């Protein structure tokens, strides 16, 4: 029964998942982009709003210019005794105020709203205007306390326009125009809108990113679930992911790996079963013979025959075990080849002389064809074993009065020079469907010919490992082996090894 997991464990798995990390990176990148975009929007909008505010102040000034073109204002020296009494005739908008001051900051007259501490305010504005070293009108922003018509005092942001008053190119005073500024409120609203909009987009991006990441990682989950459900006895499951993206390629690679593992496990199980069968057969024969001779008094000839059978089966088991150990060392990479430059033809002649007695006992004509001098790099003992196994296999499957031929010659394989060893027999041939499996371990094209009880101990034992060893030796020397066969005419093995040019 599957155990339920705690919320804390699920939360840890979620925050540690690739899905969450991909989404987090996506949201972080989007946050940086939104921050840059928002900063750009805020800066551009702030600039535009300030330009609009300045233009609004200039517009107000233009409306007031007609009023201040009167002869009384033009002829006054802006002294307390000469300031025209205009009272409420100045066309100001609600919240606006206007002050007239001397160059020293003394307030001569004011209109509109009442700012607190006007001399201090005007002095600061005059100082700012003087610091700008520009007698043209400039716009300034400042937060001040203002008393409205209801005698309520509040802090408000104001824009100020400081206008120098000149008489005959002489500065005689300043005209200060103040107007409520919407900049702070507008920029605050813009900031809140950008912040809330960015946060909303990030939340939507996080949720959408999780959904997309989950959808993208589904094949990975499928791979993980399939991997967890696979055991040594069930390697037949496949993902079969569709598409051409990276995850589909990963799924295809995983399926190919499972296919190779399944083939390897099946080969291993078949190898163990065949090895057990091959060992059980001689052991059974030995037990039967020993039990038979021990069941009662026997003649000397019967004891001798039983010992011969035991010796024959013992020899077969010894060779089988040796072959198994050889293949195990080859598979584990424990076989060290002693590479040296040698003549393949000389090794073939040595193998011929080694197998000649066996061929004569089985009444097989073993001869040598053309033997060209072919230099190769390899291990002499293993190459000798490889050629001997091929000759032995040809003798085993050739009938009496058959013919086995060995020859070497130079050739080209894929435009590369190779040394070609050819072993040909006149046996019954091998059906085409068996040819791809000849080099598999314990494979026999003709199971009925696997064992011959009348063979002597020197004859081929039919363990089904000889050609597997041959294939390994050829591949470890950088070569390849091919087999051709025709029913009723015989079989030919071609071994191509890299040729060393003089």
- Beta strands (DSSP E) in 398-486 are 403-413, 416-425, 480-486
Fold (topology level) of 66-181: Beta-Lactamase (3.30.450)
* Residue range(s) occupied by CATH 3.30.450 in the chain: 66-181
Q: What's the pLDDT tens digit per position in 220-240?
A: 777 777 777 776 566 777 777
| Range with lowest mean pLDDT among 31-45, 165-179, 354-368, 391-405 | 165-179
* Residue that wins the pLDDT comparison between 240 and 90: 240
**Helix crossing, 183-216 with 218-229: angle to 10°?**
30
Fold (topology level) of 337-498: Heat Shock Protein 90 (3.30.565)
- Residue 457: count of CB within 10 angstroms of its CB: 14
Q: Does domain 233-335 have CATH number 1.10.287.130?
A: yes
Q: The whole model's pTM is what? A: 0.48
Cβ(378)–Cβ(340) below 8 Å = yes
CA 41 to chain centre: 39
Mean pLDDT of the chain: 79
**Mean pLDDT throughout 412-418?**
81
Question: Residue 166: its pLDDT value, please?
Answer: 72
* Residue that wins the pLDDT comparison between 134 and 429: 429
Strands 138-147 and 114-115: antiparallel
- Residue 245: count of CB within 10 angstroms of its CB: 12
Let me know how long the chain is.
502
**Mean pLDDT throughout 456-467?**
57
Nearest C-alpha neighbor of 203 from the set 19, 31, 37, 15: 31
pLDDT at 213 over 90: no
Tokens 């200060």 correspond to 176
pLDDT at 481 over 50: yes
Question: Residue 329: its pLDDT value, please?
Answer: 73
pLDDT at 83 over 50: no
Secondary structure letter of residue 82 according to DSSP: T
Question: Residue 150: its pLDDT value, please?
Answer: 66
Confidence category of residue 433, pLDDT binned at 50, 70, 90: confident
CA distance 98 to 177: 5
Confidence category of residue 1, pLDDT binned at 50, 70, 90: very low
**Mean pLDDT throughout 298-327?**
81
Question: Residue 333: its pLDDT value, please?
Answer: 67
Residue 280's φ and ψ, nearest 5 degrees, are -70, -35
Q: What is the H or E stretch that residue 179 is in?
A: strand 170-180
Q: What's the pLDDT tens digit per position in 339-384?
A: 899 999 999 999 999 999 989 988 999 999 888 889 999 999 889 9
* Residue range(s) occupied by CATH 1.10.287.130 in the chain: 233-335
* Residue range(s) occupied by CATH 3.30.565.10 in the chain: 337-498
Confidence category of residue 64, pLDDT binned at 50, 70, 90: low
């Amino acid at each position: 029964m599957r155990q339920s997991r705690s919320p804390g464990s699920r939360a840890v798995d979620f925050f540690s998942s690739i899905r969450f990390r991909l989404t987090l990176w996506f949201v972080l990148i989007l946050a940086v982009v939104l921050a840059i975009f928002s900063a750009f929007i805020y800066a551009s909008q702030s600039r535009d709003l300030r330009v609009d505010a300045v233009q609004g102040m200039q517009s107000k000034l233009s409306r007031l210019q007609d009023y201040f073109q009167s002869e009384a204002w033009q002829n006054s020296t802006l002294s307390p005794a000469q300031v025209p009494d205009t009272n409420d005739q100045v066309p100001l908008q609600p919240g606006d105020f206007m002050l007239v001051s001397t160059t020293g900051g003394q307030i001569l007259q004011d209109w509109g709203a009442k700012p607190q501490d006007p001399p201090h305010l005007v002095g600061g504005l005059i100082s700012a205007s003087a610091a700008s070293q520009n007698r043209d009108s400039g716009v300034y922003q400042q937060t001040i306390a203002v008393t409205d018509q209801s005698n309520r005092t509040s802090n408000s942001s104001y824009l100020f326009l400081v206008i120098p008053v000149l008489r005959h190119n002489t500065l005689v005073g300043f005209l200060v125009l103040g107007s409520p500024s919407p900049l702070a409120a507008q920029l605050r609203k813009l900031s809140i809108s950008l912040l809330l909009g960015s946060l909303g987009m990030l939340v939507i991006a996080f949720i959408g990113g999780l959904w997309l990441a989950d959808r993208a990682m589904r094949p990975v989950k499928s791979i993980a679930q399939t991997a967890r459900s696979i055991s040594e006895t069930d390697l037949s499951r496949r993902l079969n992911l569709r598409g051409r993206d990276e995850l589909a390629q990963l799924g295809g690679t995983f399926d190919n790996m499972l296919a190779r593992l399944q083939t390897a496990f099946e080969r291993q199980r078949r190898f163990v079963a065949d090895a057990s069968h091959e060992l059980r057969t001689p052991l059974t024969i030995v037990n039967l013979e020993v039990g038979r001779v021990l069941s009662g008094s026997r003649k000397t000839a019967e004891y001798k025959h039983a010992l011969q059978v035991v010796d024959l089966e013992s020899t077969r088991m010894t060779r089988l075990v040796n072959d198994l150990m050889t293949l195990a060392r080859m598979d584990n990479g424990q076989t060290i080849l002693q590479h040296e430059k040698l003549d393949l033809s000389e090794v073939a002649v040595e193998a011929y002389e080694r197998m000649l007695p066996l061929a004569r006992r089985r009444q097989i004509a073993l001869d040598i064809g053309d033997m060209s001098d072919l230099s190769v790099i390899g291990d002499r003992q293993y190459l000798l074993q490889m050629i001997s196994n091929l000759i032995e296999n040809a003798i085993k499957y050739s009938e009496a009065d058959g013919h086995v031929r060995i020859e070497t010659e130079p050739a080209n394989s894929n435009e590369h020079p190779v040394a070609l060893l050819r072993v040909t027999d006149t046996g019954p041939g091998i059906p085409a469907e068996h040819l791809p499996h000849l080099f598999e371990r314990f494979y026999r094209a003709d199971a009925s010919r696997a064992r011959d009880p009348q063979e002597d101990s020197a004859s081929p034992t039919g363990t089904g490992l000889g050609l597997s060893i041959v294939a390994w030796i050829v591949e470890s020397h950088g070569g390849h082996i091919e087999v051709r066969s025709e029913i009723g005419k015989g079989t030919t093995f071609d071994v191509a090894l890299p040729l060393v040019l003089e």
